[in-house]
């Protein structure tokens, strides 16, 4: 049986949502708010996180921690997924670029909050897994490709928001260039094994860029390398 969006929260989802709310309260002095946007929390409650992890990890799917998804990659803890999504300030008419599709969990959350999601993944196998998830769950507003996320996806630029789910040593200039005026770019910055900071880059209507540090995080590294496979996409 194919999984479906959850019309009513089960006990595991309720526990996950409660953990996110607790983390928000604990970090409120860093993130500058006492609660996350209701639309974001509703999306977190609807997407079945257990479908985006391996069979052996399903028992931990609703814990507030990261989980391995194979190929040296991880799915972020629910609180970080919710926080990064909230920082994007998405509206229903927005188009979003995601760097690092992974198994597709963060992508699925985004798809419930905006008009169109474009997602770039450098690992072909993960892109195929994510495409299967999107098809099974009938997420029809996601397009993916295999490529170098460092350089973004110029074809569909500019974007109302950009989210990066791997840590860069610095904020990639191509991503700033592909962000619309009044847009938000959320990205972890720092080297593997060292201190990383979740950053929000804001571009004002006059294209002036400001950068804010939100809080310390730990992500796998963003790899900047040339990848030349045929484009992989799902509509």
Mapped to the 3 state alphabet, what secondary structure does 82-97 carry? HHHHHHHCCCCCCEEE
- Say what the alpha-carbon torsion angle 127, 155, 222, 132 is, to the nearest 10 degrees: -10
Task: For residue 109, tell me if it sits in a domain.
Answer: yes
Catalytic residue check, 76: yes
CA-to-CA dists, residue 114 to 31, 101, 203, angstroms? 23, 16, 19
- CATH label of the domain that carries residue 65: 3.40.50.150
Average pLDDT of 53-57? 91
Task: For residue 183, tell me if it sits in a domain.
Answer: yes
Residues linked to residue 119 through DSSP beta bridges, in sequence order: 98, 144
What pLDDT sits at residue 230? Answer: 39
What pLDDT sits at residue 232? Answer: 38
State pTM to two decimals. 0.90
Dist. CA 118–CA 138, nearest whole Å: 16
Q: How would you classify residue 7: left for phi > 0, otherwise alpha for psi between -120 and 50, otherwise beta? A: alpha
pLDDT digits over 63-95, tens only? 999 999 998 888 999 999 999 999 999 999 999
**Mean pLDDT of the chain, nearest integer:** 90
Task: For residue 5, tell me if it sits in a domain.
Answer: no
Closest listed residue to residue 170, CA positions, set 200, 191, 149, 192: 191
Dist. CA 167–CA 165, nearest whole Å: 7
pLDDT at 6 exceeding the cut of 90: no
Average pLDDT of 43-62? 94
Which of 22, 29, 57, 76 is the catalytic position?
76
What pLDDT sits at residue 3? Answer: 54
What pLDDT sits at residue 27? Answer: 94
pLDDT digits over 173-207, tens only? 999 999 999 999 999 998 766 788 999 999 999 99
pLDDT at 169 exceeding the cut of 50: yes
What pLDDT sits at residue 66? Answer: 92
Task: For residue 188, tell me if it sits in a domain.
Answer: yes
CA-to-CA dists, residue 17 to 12, 36, 42, angstroms? 9, 11, 9
pLDDT digits over 137-156, tens only? 999 999 999 999 999 999 99
Q: In what order do the strands lie in the sheet with 116-121?
A: 142-146, 116-121, 95-99, 159-164, 179-189, 196-203, 209-217
Task: For residue 203, tell me if it sits in a domain.
Answer: yes
Domain span at 69: 11-217
Closest listed residue to residue 234, CA positions, set 143, 169, 163: 143
Task: For residue 232, tell me if it sits in a domain.
Answer: no
Give how many domains the chain has, as a whole number. Answer: 1
Task: For residue 2, tell me if it sits in a domain.
Answer: no
What pLDDT sits at residue 234? Answer: 35
pLDDT at 163 exceeding the cut of 80: yes
């Amino acid at each position: 049986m194919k999984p479906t969006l959850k019309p009513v929260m089960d006990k595991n989802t309720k526990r996950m949502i409660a953990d996110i709310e607790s983390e928000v309260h604990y970090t409120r002095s860093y993130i500058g708010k006492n609660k996350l946007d209701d639309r974001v929390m509703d999306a977190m409650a609807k997407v079945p996180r257990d479908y985006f992890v391996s069979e052996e990890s399903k028992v931990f799917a609703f814990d507030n921690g990261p989980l391995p998804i194979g190929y040296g990659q991880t799915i972020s803890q629910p609180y970080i997924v919710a926080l990064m999504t909230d920082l994007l300030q998405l509206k229903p008419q927005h188009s979003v670029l995601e760097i690092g599709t992974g198994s597709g969990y963060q992508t699925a959350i985004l798809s419930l909050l905006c008009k169109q999601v474009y997602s770039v993944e450098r690992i072909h196998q993960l892109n195929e897994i994510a495409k299967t998830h999107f098809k099974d769950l009938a997420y029809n507003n996601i397009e993916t490709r295999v490529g170098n996320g460092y350089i973004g996806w110029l074809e569909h630029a500019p974007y109302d928001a950009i989210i990066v789910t791997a840590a860069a040593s610095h904020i990639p200039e191509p991503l700033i260039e592909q962000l619309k005026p009044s847009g938000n770019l959320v990205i972890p910055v720092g080297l593997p094994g060292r201190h990383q900071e979740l950053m929000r880059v804001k571009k004002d209507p006059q294209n002036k860029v400001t950068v804010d540090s939100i809080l310390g995080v730990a992500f796998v590294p963003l790899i900047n390398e040339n990848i030349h496979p045929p484009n992989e996409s799902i509509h």
